[in-house]
Amino acid sequence: MSTTTRILSGYEPASVLSFFEDICAIPHVSGDERAIADYIEAFAKARGLSCYRDAVHNVFIKLPASEGHESAPAVILQGHTDMVGEKTADSTHNFATDGLKLKVDAEGWISATDTTLGGDDGIAVAMMLAILDNPPQPHPAIECLFTVSEETGLEGAWAFDPVAMEATAHTMINLDSEAEGVLTAGCSGGMRTDITLPVTCESAEGVAVRVTLDGFTGGHSGVEIHEGHTNAIKAMGRILSALTEPYDFSLISVSGGGKDNAIPRDCTVTVDLRDTAHAEDFARAVTAEAEKLRSEPNMIPADKSFTCTAEILPDPPVLSMDDKTTHAVLSLLTLVRDGVLSMSAHVKGLVAHSRNLGIIKTLTDGEGKPTAVKFSMSTRSASNGHLDDSQRELTALAAVLGGEATHRARYPGWDYAPVSPLRDLWTRVSEGIYGVTPRIEVIHAGLECGILCDKLGEMDIISVGPDMRDIHTPREMLSIPSVERTYRLVCETLRALA
């Protein structure tokens, strides 16, 4: 027994919180899950439970059904062992060696001093260990899957081998949600696409004008794609394409955005304006186009405070892209479909298919001469058909404009199932105990469930969890009363499944 004070002792559910406090003492940021896997494996060995650990440190523990309930279908409980390691600017915390310093406020919110708490998803690990330690009676066969590196690319889920681990369940409760009273019932899949258009250069003849758009709100390309944020790269395409008729210019360089899964907030393009006498006019015309954009009735208010500058550079340009290249780049910016592509026919308000053009950049050779313009985008849908469609669409678009598309990092979605006995059961149990009907949500972003569902075959899945706030930040908090209610729901659902 440790002699240090147990911050969480005295709170309920005692067993879950005791395991959680143990977990918080073990460093376990993404990619560093060996020690926590050791702890879980030792837990299983001490109790004589069948335990399988794979090369990436995913752990799978099986608990047989209680006597007389062997014919009840097995259920998988699942959560991830890794946490995001974020700390305050002045913190000296070392995530590789130090345990977290827990505290609890008057309302029962647990947090860690100066760091993330890892309630996401340590509380799932703790709940699974508490269930394996002292299961609700009666219970079906329970298979607990502890995955690694969820936060950095769902790597544990990708590595999970249901055959090697002898997983048999077709029902799964994922414990990686962060809002009590919400039941997640589906998620999207997705893929990344890069289109490169080759650049032919020629000697520049005019004056260089740099156009910069900045200060758009941006956002997550999945869960915020329906909110109407302006894509800074598409906005740049609109402004420049509107000026190709009155002005004779070609592109020198383009760059915008930073991540293919974030809606871009900025974009900068430098052009070679051949009609040097009208540089001031051109700069004014750019601003006028930006004002037209700002007055679009459909623009969200927060985006209206974007800035647009058109700056005539003192040094004459040396090289610019030729007209054909310029035309191809501007055409792509006009033609590529971005934002919400279609809505779900089954779930009201759910985006079914979306795309985000997240990054544009000019690739150069060793001497700084442009060789290609690269566009990186992320497409999402739970439907494989949509992703196939998108793949063909972007391949065709690139080919028509003389470029090439490559698709990568494709991952499967978890399609909303119109019929789900587990969802109905969880809802009944929640209504029975708390009189609360959970809100069913399907999210337009990737979860481990999509990959696991694809690997396990026919699965009935729900994703649930207790209330957390500000996850992935040093302000992260986890509600003890919510853990207690959620844990009881999980236990009662297991009892009902038996």
Residues in the chain: 498
Q: Nearest distance from residue 156's CB to Zn ion, in Å?
A: 11
Q: Is residue 178 at the binding interface for Zn ion, with CB under 5 A as the rule?
A: no
| Binding span for Zn ion by CB under 5 A among 21-29, 168-176, 324-332, 421-429 | 168-176
Residue 77 makes CB contacts below 8 A (sequence gap 6+) with 124, 127, 128, 131, 142, 143, 144, 145, 172, 173, 175, 490
Q: Give how many residues touch Zn ion by CB under 5 A.
A: 3
| Binding span for Zn ion by CB under 5 A among 4-12, 30-38, 173-181, 472-480 | 173-181
Structure tokens at 196: 């490169």
Closest alpha carbon to 497 in 11, 170, 199, 242: 170
CB closer to Zn ion, 120 vs 393: 120
Q: Which of 21, 82, 121, 476 binds Zn ion (CB under 5 A)?
A: 121
CB closer to Zn ion, 122 vs 237: 122
**Is there a contact between 198 and 484 (Cβ–Cβ < 8 Å)?**
no
Alpha-carbon dihedral sign for residues 155, 159, 161, 164: negative
Separation of alpha carbons 225 and 232, rounded Å = 14
Structure tokens at 260: 């293919």
Q: Nearest distance from residue 60's CB to Zn ion, in Å?
A: 18
Q: Nearest distance from residue 82's CB to Zn ion, in Å?
A: 8
CB closer to Zn ion, 177 vs 212: 177
Q: Which of 22, 41, 82, 120 binds Zn ion (CB under 5 A)?
A: 120
Separation of alpha carbons 458 and 229, rounded Å = 36
Separation of alpha carbons 321 and 253, rounded Å = 8
Half-sphere exposure of residue 63, counting CA atoms within 13 Å on the CB side? Answer: 25
CB closer to Zn ion, 121 vs 180: 121
| Binding span for Zn ion by CB under 5 A among 25-33, 121-129, 244-252, 351-359 | 121-129
Q: Nearest distance from residue 150's CB to Zn ion, in Å?
A: 5
Q: Which of 82, 176, 194, 476 binds Zn ion (CB under 5 A)?
A: 176
Q: Nearest distance from residue 281's CB to Zn ion, in Å?
A: 53
The neighbour count for residue 89, using CB atoms within 10 Å, is 6
Separation of alpha carbons 157 and 454, rounded Å = 10
CB closer to Zn ion, 185 vs 310: 185
Judged by CB under 5 A, the chain residues 5 through 34 that form the site for Zn ion are: none
Chain contacts with Zn ion (rule: CB under 5 A): 120-121, 176
